[in-house]
Amino acid sequence: MEFTAQQIADFLGGEILGNPSVKVSTFSKIEDGKPGTLSFLSNPKYTQYIYDCQSSIVLVNKDFKPENEVQATLIRVDDAYQSLALLMSLVDQNKPKKVGISPLAYVSSTATIGENAYIAPFVYIGEGVSIGANARLHAHCCIEEGAQLGENVTLFSGVKIYNECVIGNNCIFHSGSVIGSDGFGFAPTDDGSYNKIPQMGNVIVEDNVEIGANTVVDRATLGSTIIRKGVKLDNLIQIAHNVEIGENTVIAAQTGISGSTKIGKRCVLAGQVGIAGHLNIADGTIFGAQTGVPKSIKIPNQVLQGYPAVPLGVFHRSSIVYKNLPELQKAVYDLQKKIQDLENRLK
């Protein structure tokens, strides 16, 4: 499909600078722009590319002021990145979508499948499963007994939903993600071995959650592990049993959250954050990359980094001290030597 600059500007409520009749049919990065494509500029680091950009249309923020001539037609919007997301969503929604159940899928006679759902080859749907309208289950997904999936759920290939787990509406799970695997529960015995503690709970994922590839959310020992609405989980994340993730929290790759920890609303966890078990993290907390969290965070809306987690300003000052440790060590050794020399003279 082709769209003119005028159509795009009308849809976004933007202002056109250039030819309103120019047409685009796809997207491109601003540094690799080609005629007939739409690019965007929101990060000032990429401003240099707009002056040589061959894209037909570029979305820019309203405060952008070109210093040189720009060949592309510009559309000024409040937020170029958000506007790009709206356009990409519109294009994605208009792509033709498959419907129906493949004869190569296994669907239990006791399962309920909503209207316009797509069940790909080699999907397994167990007894008592409920799947809402417009769901899309790609090849090799496994939905075990008693699980419930809401409307407009998309599961990419190889997703596993264990028994009795509950998934809300408009969720997207990427390939290899596992929802409801056993929590890490073992009781030590007198002889040094471990007895497995059966994990009798489930996982509840609320609406509008996206979970990345190869991310695992463990079922609760008792009760539920809960992922609240609007949460976004990156690839390769471990969420342990009985954890609760608050609304609209985002977590980056290789983060691990230990059992029974409660994460507040609108938190941001950067890559490789590690959080100990049985903690409470206040709303709006931001953890920088590789932060270690051994105790609860009670004050909301802090930015923390390091191990143990400290306020960002403290972390930066400590980093300077750490960087200067070799020189500080040498200064201490020199002072010790001078003190020893003075003591020897006094003797």
DSSP state of 299: S
List Cα–Cα distances, 38 to 18, 70, 117, 223, in angstroms. Answer: 14, 14, 32, 48
d(CA 7, CA 144): 46
d(CA 133, CA 207): 14
Per the CB < 8 A criterion, the answer to whether 144 and 163 are in contact is yes
Alpha helices by DSSP H, the chain: 5-12, 80-93, 312-323, 325-346
Concatenate the DSSP letters of all residues of 116-173 into one string.
T-EE-TT-EE-TT-EE-TT-EE-TT-EE-TT-EE-TT-EE-TT-EE-TT-EE-TT-EE
d(CA 177, CA 156): 9
* Percent of residues in the chain assigned helix, strand, coil, to nearest 5: 20, 30, 50
d(CA 185, CA 276): 15
Pairing verdict, β 118-119 and 268-269: unpaired
Q: What is the CA radius of gyration of the chain?
A: 27
Structure tokens at 95: 């792509």
Per the CB < 8 A criterion, the answer to whether 244 and 229 are in contact is no
Does the annotation mark 138 as catalytic? Answer: no
User: Of the residues 140, 241, 278, 316, which is catalytic?
Assistant: 241
Give me the active site residues, please. Answer: 241
